[in-house]
Amino acid sequence: MVADSVDVDRLLLYWSIFYDIFIDKETAALLRKQCHKLVESAIDVATWDTSVYAHFIKFATVETLNETRRHWLSYAETLVLSNARQKQLKEIVSDENEKSIGADGGEKSVSGPFSSSVELQVYVAINKDLRSVLEDWNY
């Protein structure tokens, strides 16, 4: 986002993208727009290397670029899910967040590739939705 120049009027939206668990529609629209820019810039290594983002992120392999692009696409598509599906995901996150708080009010520790069961639940839910979108597109 910094590469695209930060609009001072939108600083709170940028803050929200990085620090809030749940974002409003205006912030989601900004994030979706940014994800689409990144997806288009990551079509292949040559396109990425000539993009404004190449100065900030270097990819060692084509596989890493492709996997990162897949994640950006996933984020963008998650932001346009139906209201019912967004509500369901929000409930999953909220429920898992409550479970991750220990009896003493502190966080329970979780080990593995995800730092919390919330991340794992959301990751699984998002990927199921993304798979269905990609199947619809015959991707």
Q: What is the pLDDT of residue 104?
A: 55
Question: What sign does the CA torsion over 77, 82, 86, 91 have?
Answer: negative
Ramachandran area for residue 56 (φ above 0: left; ψ -120 to 50: alpha; else beta):
alpha
Contact 38, 69 (CB under 8 A): yes
Query: pLDDT per position in the chain (139 positions), as tens?
Result: 555 656 666 777 877 877 777 888 888 888 899 999 999 999 999 999 999 999 888 999 999 999 999 999 988 888 888 888 888 888 888 887 777 765 555 555 544 444 444 444 454 555 555 555 555 555 4
The β-bridge partners of 107 are 101
**For residues 134 and 108, what is the distance between their CA atoms, to the nearest angstrom?**
35
Q: What is the pLDDT of residue 136?
A: 55
Q: What is the pLDDT of residue 37?
A: 93
